[in-house]
Chains A and B, each alone.
Chain A
């Protein structure tokens, strides 16, 4: 019996070591860091213990900017991408011809490098001395005046960030929703057909309830993902996000840790804990709401 026990643990050992060193220990440590005041990363010493790091972060204009940006991003991209992907998935499920081709194309952004393709978006949206950029030329074609989306006004930068974020997250949502739609039992539709039920009624009374668990899964993961936005912003505006007023909470954490403004792991830890609390709160609210509306 003892030998069997040992063997089991032996097979698990590598995984336990790695998870222990790189997940469990850091998890405890981040809370410790966040309460150590005046931590010096060179001498690894600190003055005292308390909530100063939190108060510093919560009063830091850069953090408040990042908080605002992240919330705007979440509020815009989550609903828009969810509704859009539902629309596209319903369209996809209703056709037979060319369906595989469309599915393949729609999934492409998932396998592309966010940083690399972001550069293409930057080129499309940016105004340079040589050209106003393709998007601006299109806007001007319709008689409006162009705007520099990459280094211009705040709303314009936010708009590109939202557009790019939606472009990046759509493949996952479309994939999940098309497979959810495909798994709805055909008998329900056949029964509705016998009853002569209208298309909209079928959609709202059968399809939507049947895929509602997956919808909520997408909304929850969508919220979590959007709150952690970072590399999309870097791809569009470069690494100095504070200067571009386009930083996100995650970006703030990394900036505090490393780079020109770095060297403050305690502030970074406090910000990370704040982010965690926000995400946890939103997820809990989502779960509570889903209990009321989701049909399992």
Chain B
């Protein structure tokens, strides 16, 4: 390799490494700080980049002095229920659009697609009023119901369903297989990768959702992690107990980072196919 090529390569790697450090540093800092004791953290005017006597006290504190366990449990319930109900709603819809023939199908599909353009901010106000009027504030029902449909995921799944050759469907018909059984036994197994991708993307979205839960819950017993961390910050350990806060941040971040490292390829593919930050 010539000299110029080598120089370009060095510059490229330095640039990429620089950004990688920028991305990783906050993670490093939260983990590092979470292992420092309260007194040693506040004793360091110039913060140290290593821990001299690591402690787990902050982790104990985040589960005992503040109800982090409760927040995590709420978030898990919310995430699992929302994702499950969403799948129950969108799979039949995608099936109807891709496989069934009925009057008005194309019109409804166009209407559905046009709903994708509607920003959440426009509809959230009325939803807030509706849920309040139904007395569903501070309930899981109120938290879950508005986010169980996604036109985008219906669209994604419909496209995938449509790729399955018609012959399979007719063959099943001849064998006397009903539509529902065909959907369940043939289409879903074939389209499993897409269903998994949708599920993971929805889980990420649920885990990080902040705005709707904030509007709809003011009882800490129903807080999700995002609201929980905000509550911890404003009223939790006392403003100055940064190490304990960082421990809570680590606990909240770990599940998704682990999920990401396991399903890295799927998540990145799914997002590249048109997901946006929810």
Contact = CB atoms under 8 A, between A and B. Distances in A.
Interface stretch (A90-98, A185-193, A201-209): A90-98
B257 interface: yes
Interface residues of A, number: 87
Contacts of A27: 118, 122-123
Nearest to A258: B215
A176 B275 CA distance: 10
Interface residues of B, number: 92
B211 interface: yes
B60 interface: no
A106 interface: yes
Interface in A169-186: 169-170, 172, 175-176, 179
Interface centre among A30, A111, A115, A123 (most CB of B within 10 A): A111
B89 interface: yes
B55 interface: no
Contacts of A7: 100, 102, 179
A117 B90 contact: no
A233 to B, nearest CB: 12
Contacts of A212: none
A102 B16 contact: yes
B188 interface: no
A288 interface: no
A290 B259 CA distance: 37
A213 B95 CA distance: 31
Interface string A247-268: 0001001100110000001001
Nearest to B137: A258
B126 interface: yes
B230 A18 contact: no
B77 interface: no
B112 A265 contact: no
B215 A107 contact: no
Given A228-B121, A234-B230, A273-B122, A120 B149 contact: no
Given A5-B103, A110-B271, A120 B30 contact: yes
Contacts of B27: 108, 120
A239 B234 contact: yes
A18 B148 contact: yes
A113 B208 contact: yes
Contacts of A106: 19-20, 23
Contacts of B176: none
Per DSSP, are chain A's interface residues mostly helix, strand or loop, or mixed?
A: helix
Interface string B209-238: 011001100000000011101100110000
Interface stretch (A57-65, A68-76, A128-136, A153-161): A128-136
Given A22-B146, A115-B225, A239-B234, 20 more contacts: A11-B92, A12-B108, A15-B89, A16-B108, A18-B89, A18-B149, A23-B123, A30-B126, A95-B12, A110-B271, A111-B260, A112-B253, A113-B207, A113-B229, A116-B253, A123-B245, A175-B268, A228-B121, A253-B121, A275-B121
- A-B interface, 4 closest residue pairs, ranked by CB to CB distance from nearest: A8-B102, A26-B126, A11-B96, A26-B123
Interface of B: 8-9, 12-13, 15-16, 19-20, 22-24, 26-27, 29-30, 33, 41-47, 88-90, 92-93, 95-97, 100-103, 105, 108, 112, 115, 118-119, 121-130, 145-146, 148-149, 151, 154, 179, 204, 207-208, 210-211, 214-215, 225-227, 229-230, 233-234, 240, 242, 245-246, 248-249, 252-253, 256-257, 259-261, 264, 267-268, 271-272, 276-277
16 contacts: A11-B95, A11-B96, A18-B148, A22-B130, A22-B145, A26-B130, A30-B123, A108-B24, A111-B257, A112-B253, A121-B26, A123-B242, A167-B26, A175-B268, A230-B211, A231-B226
